[in-house]
């Protein structure tokens, strides 16, 4: 059974004044009026999701009544990461326009692929909440989906960002606090297990250095490795997932796209960190 969502693309009905509609829309979304211009930029914003038909129809009608053009979309999962979406006709919920596309990049799954077709260059058509739209726009300005994180941070645009803008793309408090669980919540399972494996490998190296570095440095590093790693990559990884449906980092050998290989790496890293644990080594000796 599917659910409904409401998408807004900055459109208003004929005869209505956009300036007068900014305040009620911002109030509805519980955002500051300063962000009103972003909402009317023409980009897609996901206002509500997971709604019942009755609730979605009422919300859609309420927005229509005040002069806002919203899109009522029925969404039903076909398989992991792919949904069939039907935009409700304004006159009747029984009339639907079927649109089968990837919910992350917006690509038409029914369209035959072209060898010359270029990948998405911006996140404009990706449906995200307002808080994420600001972050996605910053990534777009840094080079978009065609650039990796290193290239983005070397760009002149990034160098000219304010400290606040740099923090918006560089750090996620939720990734820092909840580490791999935040990735699980966002659907980034493969990258999560890879980052966990990297964390365990680094911890194993620290175990080997135990005794040659101070206890304070050893303990601090062990505590902060995972939060720093997940916290600094979370927003970039979510951007890549939503815009180009990236499940694994580009540039890595193709073998890392295999979930079983990632699982084996995770198991090996667990064995590694346990085998190098100073307490265990001391106990065995």
Q: Can you spell out the DSSP letters for 66-101?
A: HTEEEEEEEEEEEETTEEEEEEEPSS-TT-EEEEEE
The chain-wide mean pLDDT, for the chain, equals 83
pLDDT digits (tens, 9 = 90+) for 5-51: 888 888 888 878 888 888 888 887 777 787 778 888 778 888 888 88
Question: 96-101 and 3-12 as β-strands: parallel, antiparallel, unpaired?
Answer: unpaired
**Structural domain contains residue 136:** no
**Structural domain contains residue 230:** yes
**Structural domain contains residue 157:** no
Boundary residue ending a domain (64, 86, 101): 101
pLDDT digits (tens, 9 = 90+) for 57-77: 888 888 888 888 888 888 877
Q: Kindly state the tokens that stand for 94.
A: 């029984």
Structural domain span for residue 15: 3-101
CATH number of residue 24's parent domain: 3.30.1390
Boundary residue ending a domain (55, 77, 101): 101
Q: Indicate if 184 and 279 belong to the same structural domain.
A: yes
156 falls in which pLDDT band (50, 70, 90)? very high
**Structural domain contains residue 142:** no
More confident residue, 54 or 156: 156
65-83 burial: b if 16+ Cβ within 10 Å, else e: eebbebbbbbbeeeeeeeb
Boundary residue ending a domain (63, 83, 101): 101
Number of independent structural domains in the chain? 2
Q: Indicate if 178 and 279 belong to the same structural domain.
A: yes
CA distance 188 to 175: 12
Q: Indicate if 188 and 87 belong to the same structural domain.
A: no
Global pTM reads 0.64
What is the reported pLDDT for 251? Answer: 86
**Structural domain contains residue 137:** no
Q: Indicate if 180 and 278 belong to the same structural domain.
A: yes
pLDDT digits (tens, 9 = 90+) for 67-110: 888 888 888 776 666 667 777 655 333 333 344 445 444 454 44
pLDDT digits (tens, 9 = 90+) for 223-262: 999 999 999 999 999 999 999 999 999 889 999 989 999 9
**Structural domain contains residue 120:** no
99 close to 87: Cβ distance less than 8 angstroms: yes
**Structural domain contains residue 133:** no
**Structural domain contains residue 149:** no
Q: Which of 112-121, 164-173, 203-212 has the lowest mean pLDDT?
A: 112-121
Contacts of 128 (CB under 8 A, 6+ apart): 44, 45, 46, 136, 242
Q: Kindly state the tokens that stand for 213.
A: 């570095």
What is the reported pLDDT for 263? Answer: 95
């Amino acid at each position: 059974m599917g659910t409904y969502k409401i998408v807004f693309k900055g459109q208003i009905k004929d005869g209505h004044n956009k300036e007068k509609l900014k305040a009620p829309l911002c109030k509805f979304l519980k955002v500051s009026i300063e962000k009103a211009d972003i909402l009317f930029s023409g980009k897609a914003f996901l206002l509500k999701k997971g709604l019942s038909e009755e609730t979605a129809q009422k919300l859609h009608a309420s927005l229509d009544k005040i002069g806002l053009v919203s899109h009522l979309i029925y969404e039903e999962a076909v398989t992991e990461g792919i949904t069939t979406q039907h935009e409700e006709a304004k006159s009747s919920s029984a009339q639907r326009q079927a649109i089968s596309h990837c919910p992350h990049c917006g690509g038409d799954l029914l369209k035959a692929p072209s060898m010359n077709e270029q990948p998405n260059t911006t996140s404009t058509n990706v449906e995200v909440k307002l808080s994420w739209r600001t972050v996605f726009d910053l990534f777009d300005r840094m080079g978009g989906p065609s650039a990796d994180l290193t290239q983005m941070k070397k760009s002149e645009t990034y160098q000219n960002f304010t400290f606040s803008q740099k923090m918006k793309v560089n750090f996620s408090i939720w990734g820092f606090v909840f580490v791999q669980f935040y990735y699980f919540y966002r659907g980034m399972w493969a990258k999560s297990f890879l980052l966990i494996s990297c964390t365990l490998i680094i911890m194993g190296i620290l175990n080997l250095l135990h005794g040659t570095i101070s206890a304070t440095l050893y303990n601090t590093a062990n505590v902060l490795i995972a939060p720093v790693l997940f916290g600094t990559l979370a927003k970039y990884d979510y951007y890549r997932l939503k815009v180009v449906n990236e499940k694994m980092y580009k540039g890595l050998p193709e073998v890392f796209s295999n979930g079983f290989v990632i699982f084996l790496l995770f198991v090996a890293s667990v064995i590694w960190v346990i085998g190098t644990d100073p307490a265990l080594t001391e106990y065995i000796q």
